[in-house]
Amino acid sequence: MVGGSADVGHGARVSTCPVDRPTVTLSCFGEVRDAMRAKDLRQALYDDGALVMADCLLDLHGSEHRDRRRLENRLFRRETFEDYETNLLPRAIAEAIDPMAVVGRGDLVQIGYRAVMHLTSLVAGIDVADGDADRLEHIVKVFSKGATAVHATGDRSDLFAEVGDALVEFDELFFQPSTARRQYALAGLANGTIPASEVSRDVLTTLLQNVDALDLPIEVIRREVAFYLQAGGHSTANALTHTLDELWSHGDADLLGRARLDPAILQRCVHEALRLHPASPVAWRRTLAPVEMRSGTVIAENTLVVLDIEAANRDESVWGAGSDRFDPNRDVPDGVHAWGLSFGAGPHACIGMELDGGVPADPGDSVHLHGTVALLASALLRAGAVPDPSEPPEIDPGTERLHYSRYPIVFEPLS
């Protein structure tokens, strides 16, 4: 992507991409975090993924982003996450793991997607009949590939055709029926025949209620709902595989045993794995005006700024010596999240980060949200999951990102 480069202050280098747009790469923690918060840096990573990402929350900027974020933030309250962890996740996790545990083997990536599919569908506002879960899971995986098309390694025309077909199937099988049900409920709410308690609280319903105020075409609503589905499924499956892979590869039997028994310890492992393996190893921004960095470097207008999240998350000035080593017991500096910048920062910080990563309890807190990934990993370890010695995991060859396409596991009796 990048041509020749020259140093420009600490953590930055300037280079030119193939289309001759000036490019700056930031890799130190402080400058990457500052860039994520800068109002004159606009999201630029998802231009190639426009089929599924155009005008989605993650791709918006300024007042458009602010207005939609405020609206959707109402769905992501801590008490809602507590209800999910208590009442929804245990059943979803059991339904994903139990059938594979019975036969003694399974796939970690598939379990991650399957366990979270019900939850992300509920949040997004997509109704799924029992016999359609496999189709939705396939469609969501295609959407994930489409969203990250910029890092695809194969023929993009084939990828875009696959994404287009998936959008048509998603629209007919899931989106249109779910939309019709919610429009009927909203009409009943308006004329007093349906009480507010019977109207769904989800992204689709919220957008339909505010379609005029936000000037939202139906295709944008469809992409927004698809975005929530693919982002939730992808991030969970990615974090789950990396967390357990790090634990199993670490070779610390004591840590593994304690993590199996204590979800709070496992949560620290999740956060450390997220730091080392962000779902998106880079973010791209485009400068809307000249931007001055903390080093004194001024980045000119209309420059592509590559935020190297993976490098920033391993910055020794923040994480100390051994910053590239898995260590869930490491000291985390004040004002820094244990997961680094993997959930972003500033206005585009991940809206569902507490759902995926949980919220560590402070002294005196009555509730500790462990997060979807920690609870899922905990259930797998307690079921005796270990890597399949006869089938090594496979890295996804269709993307430059470090994702597993398969991670075979077996279930062994616990000693």
Look at residue 10 in the predicted model and tell me its pLDDT: 39
The answer on pLDDT for 1 being more than 50 is no
Rounded mean pLDDT, 116-136: 91
More confident position, 177 or 403: 177
Region 104-117 average pLDDT: 92
Q: What is the 3-state secondary structure (H, E, C) of the chain?
A: CCCCEEECCCCEEEEECCCCCEEEEECCHHHHHHHHHCCCEEECCCCCCHHHHCCCHHHCCHHHHHHHHHHHHCCCCHHHHHHHHHHHHHHHHHHHHHHHHHHCEEEHHHHHHHHHHHHHHHHHCCCCCHHHHHHHHHHHHHHHHHHCHHHECCCHHHHHHHHHHHHHHHHHHHHHHHHHHHHHHHHHHHHCCCCHHHCCCCHHHHHHHCCCCCCCCHHHHHHHHHHHHHHHHHHHHHHHHHHHHHHHHHCCHHHHHHHHHCHHHHHHHHHHHHHHCCCCCEEEEEECCCEECCCCCEECCCCEEEEEHHHHCCCHHHHCCCCCCCCCCCCCCCCCCCCCCCCCCHHHCCCCHHHHHCECCCCCCCCCECCHHHHHHHHHHHCCEEECCCCCCEECCCECCCCEEECEEEECCCC
CA angle 90, 96, 102 (to 5 degrees): 110
Burial degree of 412 (CB within 10 A; 0-12, 13-18, 19+): exposed
Q: Residue 252 corresponds to which tokens in the numbers above?
A: 């610390």
pLDDT (0 to 100) of residue 7 = 34
Residue 410 has pLDDT above 60, yes or no: yes
- List pLDDT tens digits, range 259-278: 999 999 999 999 999 999 99
191-to-108, 183, 194, 213 alpha-carbon distances in Å: 48, 12, 8, 20
Average pLDDT over residues 7-36: 69
Q: Please give the pLDDT value at position 332.
A: 92
pLDDT of 15 over the 60 cut = no
Task: Give the confidence band of 403 by pLDDT, cuts at 50, 70, 90.
Answer: confident
pLDDT digit string, tens, across residues 29-84: 999 999 999 999 999 998 888 899 999 999 999 999 999 999 999 888 888 888 88
Mean pLDDT of the 391-401 span: 88
Residue 14's pLDDT is 35
Q: Mean pLDDT across the stretch 114-140?
A: 91
Structural domains in the chain, CATH included, are 1-45+280-341 (3.30.43.20), 46-279+352-411 (1.10.630.10)
Give the whole-angstrom CA distance, residue 351 versus residue 346.
11
Instruction: Reply yes or no on whether the pLDDT at 6 is more than 70.
Output: no
2-16, 212-226, 353-367 — which one is most confidently predicted on average?
212-226
pLDDT tier at 368, thresholds 50, 70, 90: confident
Tell me the mean pLDDT in the region 90-98. 92
CA angle 125, 127, 128 (to 5 degrees): 135
Arithmetic mean of pLDDT, 9-13: 39
Residue 282: φ, ψ to 5°: -135, 155
132-164 burial, b if ≥16 CB within 10 A, otherwise e?
Answer: eeebbbebbbbbbbbbbbbbbeeeeeebbeebe
Rounded CA separation 25/32 (Å): 9
pLDDT at residue 220 is higher than 70:
yes
